[in-house]
């Protein structure tokens, strides 16, 4: 038999599978469906090792599900719009469209080299007019249902990329652009938003969805729901006007001794007295120069200026001074706070610095009586309400509700919920995106492009170099159109959509990528949706994974989709780092190119190594020598299966032990596929190979046990290393093509059972011995074996033990 030559067998089988349509997934009502989805790549130019790391185990698991009788759909496509292509175009002058589609062509080839079970007929590319027609249609639907709106607002703007960013795209304490690292500035622009906040509460609910705790926590924190009360403080000089605050501690209202507004708060100018005008103006200027994070930093020296104006604390009628300070942000809550220095750290620091009154209104249990004049720090803990008028004496556990009831009864506020989540800003002043399908007429205002006029095509002849204006605005004719209401001259919206809009629904386009009557064929939807398993990076927790859930829920309420969630199970892979333990990047020179590895070792070895070298959910630094072990293993598999068997000479014990190991491994690999433990799948197969080599040396080859072992081994190998498994199955063992259409083997429990088990024996909590008993020993037999042990006899010194506990078949515990 010839040597193992991956390059030959891999291209051969990839071509045959393609010709035979082996991985085509079509509706089949007789079989249960399984929609396996991996996050679609961005066409950056090259498939990198991170794609392989994310996708090959996802492919292996999809294959495993198929062998288990599921009708599996495993589609792929490209998230083709977006800034990187445009930024690259600005650098080297190649049109983003040309670059993107050339990159896609290249990456298709690279994806094919992986030997994954993609159904290429279902490929979807978000920059295709046939795709973005429906992205635009969805925009119109959201608009018609009141979930898309336009407003002037200060937005985060990257001066380098010349575009607005979503809050999620502003990273780090220095608030830099996710794409280019440039510090982000604020700018006032008219923008389109999606009302994701309407779904804030529902997005906190994951009932029925098997998602990682970490993602749920990230999203929950991002949504930032807090309960409390909204309270109105009237202006002392103008009781008809008031400042509204949101507080999570209405039980501290009697301790509010001053108020603080964000410098940008609209009431600041009305409150400011002549005497304070200059100081206030100066302070506003310096605050505008700082980022939100700088302003919020807790370790920062507190600064602020008195406006000269006063508000009235509604619970006690006291006049309290109103200040402005940069630690209060317009973007959180209402842009104003009631300051309760005795029970809030920042308010305390502020009060002490400016000599403002500190009044204790909460006395936590077990603390000495607090004194506002002398306390060295704020006490934010909950406790009994004191010095709080009619509510004095209310215990800690009733304080919040009692305070809310009081506020509501008195008519100056109400119980309220606050969220950190903001509406999704989707306007981008960039070229390479789906045009926002809206038309503006002087007479009729904004109206959506009629369905029959979709898609609004992105023109090719555009100067895409950034000017801060949308490139489409600078096109001589593109924006001129007619008003869908009056038929008069009108202008198109010239901004394009955030590409997260395109990726919010790509799993639906895969259902029927060429369907032109709707975004997807409802027959396909009914069969395939929801996605059964979704795999991808955790970095998308607050963006894509939140947006796609919102999208699904909003469409469900319009009757377009069904069910609570689009993706029932989510699993995140970790990251492959460079050999230097740093994130891979071209500038560090630590990038591992999968193409070269495939050329040298074959796709199967790369697949197996990526599954083996790290816990999938954790990731690890790359290790170039490690893959040698994987290729040696595959060569040994090749030899073991291809060597002629001859006549068996092994003892019955050897054959029994071989079967036991085979079925034990099968049980383990099956379990590990279910739980995404890919590294132990490969190590299990490696261990079994060692055992099989030993049995072969002991003369097992040629026996029925041996034949069964080889059969099960190749089937278990198939999802991990699809090419070598196919070659061995079809060409060497001459079994019916294809191994990927075979059933997953069933473990024989009796064969897998151990003959004997070893049980540790504890004396007074310390392990002193281990006893070996038959696997089917009774509790009485195990007890007798433990007491008969020499070590135990020594400790007993002839006396009877006080207690002997046999814990299942795992432990014997003796108390002297």
In the complex, which residues of this chain contact Zn ion (CB under 5 A)?
Answer: 158, 160-161, 177, 179-180, 182, 441, 443-444, 483, 485-486
Please report, in angstroms and rounded to a whole number, the separation of the first and last CA atoms in the chain.
Answer: 65
Q: Is 676 left (phi over 0), alpha (psi -120 to 50) or beta?
A: left
Residue 477 beta carbon to Zn ion: minimum distance, rounded to whole angstroms: 19
C-alpha to C-alpha distance for 317 and 26, rounded to whole angstroms? 72
Residue 187 beta carbon to Zn ion: minimum distance, rounded to whole angstroms: 13
Nearest CB to Zn ion, comparing residues 378 and 436: 436
C-alpha to C-alpha distance for 602 and 91, rounded to whole angstroms? 35
Task: Count CA within 13 A, CB hemisphere, residue 607.
Answer: 28
Q: Locate the DSSP E strands across 267-324.
A: 305-312, 319-324
Nearest CB to Zn ion, comparing residues 161 and 761: 161
Return the closest-CA partner of residue 398 out of 362, 448, 433, 422. Answer: 362
Residue 455 beta carbon to Zn ion: minimum distance, rounded to whole angstroms: 22
Residue 464 beta carbon to Zn ion: minimum distance, rounded to whole angstroms: 15
Sheet holding 33-38, edge to edge: 71-73, 33-38, 533-537, 570-573
Q: What is the DSSP string of 458-494?
A: PPSS---S--SS-HHHHSSSTTEEE-TTT-SEEEE--
Nearest CB to Zn ion, comparing residues 128 and 493: 493
Identify the sign of the CA torsion 138, 141, 146, 149: positive
Nearest CB to Zn ion, comparing residues 163 and 572: 163
Q: What are phi and psi of 812, to 5 degrees?
A: -115, 130
Return the closest-CA partner of residue 264 out of 348, 186, 201. Answer: 186
Contact 226, 418 (CB under 8 A): yes
Residue 425 beta carbon to Zn ion: minimum distance, rounded to whole angstroms: 15
Nearest CB to Zn ion, comparing residues 444 and 491: 444
Helix (H) or strand (E) holding 697, with range, is: helix 678-697
Residue 162 beta carbon to Zn ion: minimum distance, rounded to whole angstroms: 8
| Two tokens, residue 16 | 């045959």
Nearest CB to Zn ion, comparing residues 216 and 440: 440
Nearest CB to Zn ion, comparing residues 83 and 315: 83
Helices and strands of the chain, counted as H and E runs = 27, 33
Residue 36 beta carbon to Zn ion: minimum distance, rounded to whole angstroms: 34
Residue 364 beta carbon to Zn ion: minimum distance, rounded to whole angstroms: 47
| Two tokens, residue 572 | 């995140």
Nearest CB to Zn ion, comparing residues 21 and 445: 445
Return the closest-CA partner of residue 310 out of 358, 273, 351, 255. Answer: 273
Residue 125 beta carbon to Zn ion: minimum distance, rounded to whole angstroms: 25
Query: What radius of gyration, in Å, describes the C-alpha atoms of the chain?
Result: 34
Residue 382 beta carbon to Zn ion: minimum distance, rounded to whole angstroms: 44
The label of the residue with tokens 């200060």 reads 154
Residue 189 beta carbon to Zn ion: minimum distance, rounded to whole angstroms: 16
Nearest CB to Zn ion, comparing residues 57 and 448: 448
Return the closest-CA partner of residue 496 out of 781, 24, 146, 136. Answer: 136
The label of the residue with tokens 């159904």 reads 119
Contact 208, 565 (CB under 8 A): yes
Q: What angle do CA 52, 181, 300 make, to 5 degrees?
A: 125
Return the closest-CA partner of residue 602 out of 640, 635, 639. Answer: 635
Residue 157 beta carbon to Zn ion: minimum distance, rounded to whole angstroms: 9
Nearest CB to Zn ion, comparing residues 180 and 815: 180
Contact 434, 497 (CB under 8 A): yes
Nearest CB to Zn ion, comparing residues 443 and 766: 443
Nearest CB to Zn ion, comparing residues 163 and 307: 163
Q: Are strands 575-577 and 619-621 parallel, antiparallel or unpaired?
A: parallel
Residue 424 beta carbon to Zn ion: minimum distance, rounded to whole angstroms: 19
Nearest CB to Zn ion, comparing residues 159 and 372: 159
Q: What are phi and psi of 51, to 5 degrees?
A: -65, -45
């Amino acid at each position: 038999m010839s040597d193992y030559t991956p390059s030959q067998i891999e291209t051969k089988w990839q071509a045959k599978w393609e010709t035979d349509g082996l991985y085509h997934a079509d509706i089949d009502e007789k079989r249960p469906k399984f929609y396996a989805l991996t996050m679609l790549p961005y066409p950056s130019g090259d498939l990198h090792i991170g794609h392989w790391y994310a996708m090959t185990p996802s492919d292996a698991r999809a294959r495993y599900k198929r062998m288990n009788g599921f009708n599996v759909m495993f589609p792929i496509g490209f998230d083709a719009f977006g800034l990187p292509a445009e930024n690259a175009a600005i650098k080297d002058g190649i049109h983003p469209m040309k670059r993107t589609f050339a990159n896609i062509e290249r990456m298709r080839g690279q994806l094919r080299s992986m030997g994954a079970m993609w159904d290429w007929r279902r490929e979807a590319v978000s920059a295709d007019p046939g795709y973005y027609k429906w992205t635009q249609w969805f925009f119109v639907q959201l608009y018609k249902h009141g979930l898309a709106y336009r407003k002037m607002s200060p937005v985060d703007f990257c001066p380098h990329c010349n575009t607005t960013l979503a809050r999620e795209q502003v990273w780090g304490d220095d608030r830099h652009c996710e794409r280019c690292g440039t510090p982000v500035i604020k700018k006032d622009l008219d923008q389109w938003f999606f009302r994701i906040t309407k779904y804030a509460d529902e997005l906190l609910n994951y009932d029925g969805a098997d998602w990682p705790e970490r993602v749920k926590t990230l999203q929950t924190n991002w949504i930032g729901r807090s309960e409390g009360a909204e309270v109105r403080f009237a202006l002392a000089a103008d009781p008809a006007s008031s400042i509204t605050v949101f507080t999570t501690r209405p039980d501290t209202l009697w301790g509010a001794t001053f108020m603080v507004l964000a410098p940008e708060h609209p009431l600041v100018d009305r409150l400011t007295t002549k005497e304070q005008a200059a100081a206030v103006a100066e302070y506003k200027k310096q605050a505008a120069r700082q980022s939100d994070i700088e302003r919020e930093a807790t370790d920062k020296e507190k600064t602020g200026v008195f406006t000269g104006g006063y508000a009235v604390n509604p619970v006690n009628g006291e006049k309290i001074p109103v200040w402005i300070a940069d630690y209060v942000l317009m973007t959180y809550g209402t842009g104003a706070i009631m300051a309760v220095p005795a029970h809030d750290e920042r308010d305390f620091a502020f009060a002490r610095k400016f000599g403002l009154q500190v009044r204790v209104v909460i006395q936590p249990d077990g603390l000495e009586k607090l004194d506002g004049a002398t306390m060295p720090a704020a006490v934010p803990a909950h406790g009994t309400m004191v010095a709080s008028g009619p509510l004095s004496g209310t215990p800690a556990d009733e304080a919040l509700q009692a305070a809310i009831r009081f506020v509501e009864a008195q008519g100056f506020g109400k119980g309220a919920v606050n969220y950190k989540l903001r509406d999704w800003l989707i306007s981008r002043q960039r070229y390479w995106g789906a045009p926002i399908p809206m038309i503006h007429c002087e007479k009729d205002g904004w109206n959506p492009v009629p369905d029959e006029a979709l898609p609004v095509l992105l023109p090719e002849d555009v100067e895409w170099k950034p000017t801060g204006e949308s490139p489409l605005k600078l096109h001589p004719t593109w924006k001129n159109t007619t008003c869908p209401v009056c038929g008069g001259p009108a202008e198109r919206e010239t901004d394009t959509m955030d590409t997260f809009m395109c990726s919010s629904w790509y799993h639906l386009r895969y259902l029927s990528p060429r369907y032109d009557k709707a975004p997807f064929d409802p027959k396909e939807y009914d069969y395939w949706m929801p996605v059964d398993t979704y795999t991808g990076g955790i970095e998308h927790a607050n963006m894509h994974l939140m947006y796609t859930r919102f999208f699904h829920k909003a469409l469900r309420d319009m009757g377009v989709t069904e069910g609570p969630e689009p993706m029932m199970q989510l699993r995140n892979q970790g990251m492959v780092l460079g050999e230097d333990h740093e994130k891979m990047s071209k500038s560090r020179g630590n990038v591992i190119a999968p193409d070269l590895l495939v050329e040298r070792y074959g796709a199967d070895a790369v697949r197996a190594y990526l599954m083996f070298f790290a816990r999938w959910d954790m990731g690890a630094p790359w290790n170039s020598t490690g893959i040698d072990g994987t290729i040696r293993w595959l060569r040994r598999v090749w030899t073991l299966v291809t060597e002629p068997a001859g006549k068996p000479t092994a003892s019955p014990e050897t054959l029994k032990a071989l079967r036991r190991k085979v079925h034990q491994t099968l049980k383990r690999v099956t379990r590990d596929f279910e739980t995404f433990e890919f590294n132990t799948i490969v190590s299990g197969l490696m261990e079994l190979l060692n055992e099989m080599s030993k049995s072969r040396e002991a003369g097992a080859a040629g026996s029925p046990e041996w034949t069964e072992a080889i059969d099960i081994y190749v089937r278990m190998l198939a999802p991990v290393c699809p090419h070598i498994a196919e070659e061995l199955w079809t060409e060497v063992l001459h079994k019916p093509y294809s191994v990927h259409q075979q059933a997953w083997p069933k473990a024989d429990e009796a064969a897998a059972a151990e003959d004997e088990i070893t049980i540790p024996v504890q004396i007074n909590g310390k392990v002193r011995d281990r006893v070996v008993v038959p696997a089917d020993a009774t509790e009485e037999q195990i007890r007798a074996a433990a007491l008969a042990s020499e070590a135990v006899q020594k400790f007993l010194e002839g006396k009877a033990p006080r207690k002997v506990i046999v814990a299942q078949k795992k432990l014997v515990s003796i108390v002297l």
